[in-house]
Structure formats: structure tokens, C-alpha cells
Amino acid sequence: MTRTEGTAAAARQLVGASRPLSWVNTAYPFAAAYLMAGGGLTAELVVGTVFFLVPYNLLMYGINDVFDYESDLRNPRKGGVEGIVLASRWHRLTLWWACLLPVPFVLALLWWGSWASAAVLVGTLVAVVAYSAPGMRFKERPVLDSMTSSAHFVGPAAFGLALTGAPLTTTAAVSLLAFFLWGMASQAFGAVQDVLADREAGIGSIATALGGRRTVRLAIGLYAAAGLVMAAADWPAALAGLLVMPYLVSILPFHDVPDERCEVARRGWRRFLWLNMVTGFLLTLLLLWIAWGR
């Protein structure tokens, strides 16, 4: 392999490890929250969006791919849009890039922000590292795994709000809470399909602790709770509560899935990935409506 080929191969591995399909899932909440809270087209918006688009995801998933390498080799879901199996020769390089690439972005965002926004950003980054890093491995601690995973996506939104310095309104607070409940539900349902594989590998999760059937029912309850919480938001933001309906309809057929057939939940997880795009589009329309009415 020539030097050029090696560089290209390394770049492909790093990009693959950052999960391009998920880039928007962290950059969008930050940018939307920042703009809806009164932030303008500023350097903070640009730097923050770029940070949560790529460096943040490389930190989150790069660490995960390095320390989950052995289990990823046995996971049939790996190798596609849900993540690559990161070749062992690139592990050290991935950890270096994952840890160093965010540094200039984080320093700039800390400099521009307040003590409150700094606390939110640091807390979010701690949750990202703690999820997969040895010695913490929150992803293997039932319930905490769902809470931490949800924080990975709610954190950028909370930071966007804090960075503007705007007061926390009731609508903003209930939106963050609803988003957190939605994130917990999504992570929990996603864990159902891996119940048997995780138990065989000795990996703990909310689904291995509760079982597939109870975990799906918990996810249904969390989705429903997220929708109900949004009812406390101002009009028309409260309409966002209706966006949980497609997720409820999607996972209801799995409410009685036994652990022995947990793999069938894979169908619902595939729908989840596409539902995110549809609901993201609808949420954007709602946010534009809210902004237009101001």
C-alpha cells in the first residue's frame, strides 16, 4: 500500500467511524436550539454546528468502535449505515483523531460561552466518553445506558440554548425533557434486537435486564410520555408532541416479543432510521412556522 493509498484508507475509516448518517442528529439539535433561542448567524453558530456535525460524532462513535471491536466482529448489523467494523490497525489513529479534533472547537465554544454553557458542554462531553470508555462503560449499565445515550443528542440542544444566554422558558424546558424521553425510548428499543447476542457476550443493557417484551413496553411508555410532556409547551410548539405517533405505531407490533425472537425487532429499528428523516422534516416545518409567527 502506497502512502497515498494508506492516507485514503485511513480517511475512509475515520469518516466511517463517525457515522455520517448520524451527523445531522447532533448538529441539527444544536443549530435549531441556538436559532430558536434568539441566536443569529454568528461564528458561534457556524463553529458549533461544524463541531456537532463531525468532530463530536467521531469522538462519540470512534471511542465506541475501538473498545467494542471484539463484539462488533460478531455483530451482523455492523458494516453498513449503522457503523463499520473499525480495522484494528486504525484503532490508535482513531483515538488520536477522536480526542484531538474536537479540541479547537471546544476551546472556542468555551471562550464564547458562559459558565452555564461551559457546564452543559463539559457535561455532554463527559457523557460521550463515559458511554464507551473502559472503566466507565455506561452503555453496559442498564437504564443508565438509555439515559446517557439520550444525553448525547439532548446535550447539543441544551448547549445551543445555554450558549445564547437566553432565559430557559417553559417551552424550551419541556422540549428538552420530551426530547430526552424520546431519546431514552429510542435507545431502549434499539437494544431489544441484541438481547440474545449481548447476553451471550456478557454485555449488560436495559434490554438484557428487563427482557425484550418489557423493554418494548417501556419504550412505548416513554414515547407516549414525550408526546404528553410537549402538551405543556406554547402553541404551536405543542404540536411537536404529535411527532411521536409514527414511532409508537412502528414499535407497537413488537410489544409482546419474546427474548428468543428478539431479532424480529430489527424490522422496527430499520423503520426508525427512516422515520427520523421524515419527522426531522416535519419538525423543521414546525420550527419555520414558529419563527415566521414571531
Model pLDDT, residue 2: 66
For the chain, the domain total comes to 2
Query: Per the domain annotation, does 4 fall within a domain?
Result: no
Q: Is 95 helix (H, G, I), strand (E, B) or coil?
A: helix
Query: In terms of domains, do 153 and 188 share one?
Result: no
| Cell 463530536 sits on residue | 56
| 4 to 8, 9, 92, 173, 239: CA distances (angstroms) | 6, 9, 19, 49, 51
End residue of a domain, out of 146, 167, 188: 167
Contacts of 43 (CB under 8 A, 6+ apart): 112
Q: What is the CATH number of the domain that holds 77?
A: 1.10.357
Q: Which of 96, 119, 3, 80 is nearest to 273 (CA)?
A: 80
Query: In terms of domains, do 226 and 125 share one?
Result: no
Query: Per the domain annotation, does 156 fall within a domain?
Result: yes
pLDDT along the chain (294 residues), means of 10: 66 78 91 93 96 95 78 58 63 88 97 96 96 90 94 96 93 96 96 86 88 96 97 94 95 92 88 89 89 72
What residues make up the domain containing 148?
16-167
Query: Per the domain annotation, does 5 fall within a domain?
Result: no
Query: In terms of domains, do 154 and 278 share one?
Result: no
Query: In terms of domains, do 162 and 178 share one?
Result: no
Query: In terms of domains, do 173 and 161 share one?
Result: no
Query: Per the domain annotation, does 238 fall within a domain?
Result: yes
Query: Per the domain annotation, does 26 fall within a domain?
Result: yes
Contacts of 181 (CB under 8 A, 6+ apart): 150, 222, 223, 225, 226, 229
Query: In terms of domains, do 161 and 140 share one?
Result: yes
Query: In terms of domains, do 231 and 99 share one?
Result: no
Query: In terms of domains, do 276 and 184 share one?
Result: yes
- Which contacts of 34-41 are long-range, i.e. CB under 8 A and separated by 24 or more positions? 34/160, 34/161, 34/163, 34/164, 35/291, 36/287, 36/290, 36/291, 37/160, 37/161, 37/164, 37/166, 37/172, 38/164, 38/166, 39/160, 39/163, 39/164
| Cell matching residue 45 | 453558530
Query: Per the domain annotation, does 70 fall within a domain?
Result: yes
| Cell matching residue 54 | 463531525
Query: Per the domain annotation, does 281 fall within a domain?
Result: yes
Query: In terms of domains, do 92 and 179 share one?
Result: no
Query: In terms of domains, do 176 and 240 share one?
Result: yes
Query: In terms of domains, do 24 and 147 share one?
Result: yes
Q: Which of 47, 55, 49 is nearest to 17 (CA)?
A: 55
Report whether 222 contacts 186 (CB < 8 A). Answer: no
Model pLDDT, residue 73: 55
End residue of a domain, out of 167, 189, 212: 167
pTM value is: 0.92
Q: What is the CATH number of the domain that holds 197?
A: 1.20.120
Query: Per the domain annotation, does 11 fall within a domain?
Result: no
| Cell matching residue 160 | 445551543
Report whether 142 contacts 172 (CB < 8 A). Answer: no
Query: In terms of domains, do 69 and 179 share one?
Result: no
Model pLDDT, residue 283: 93
Model pLDDT, residue 146: 95
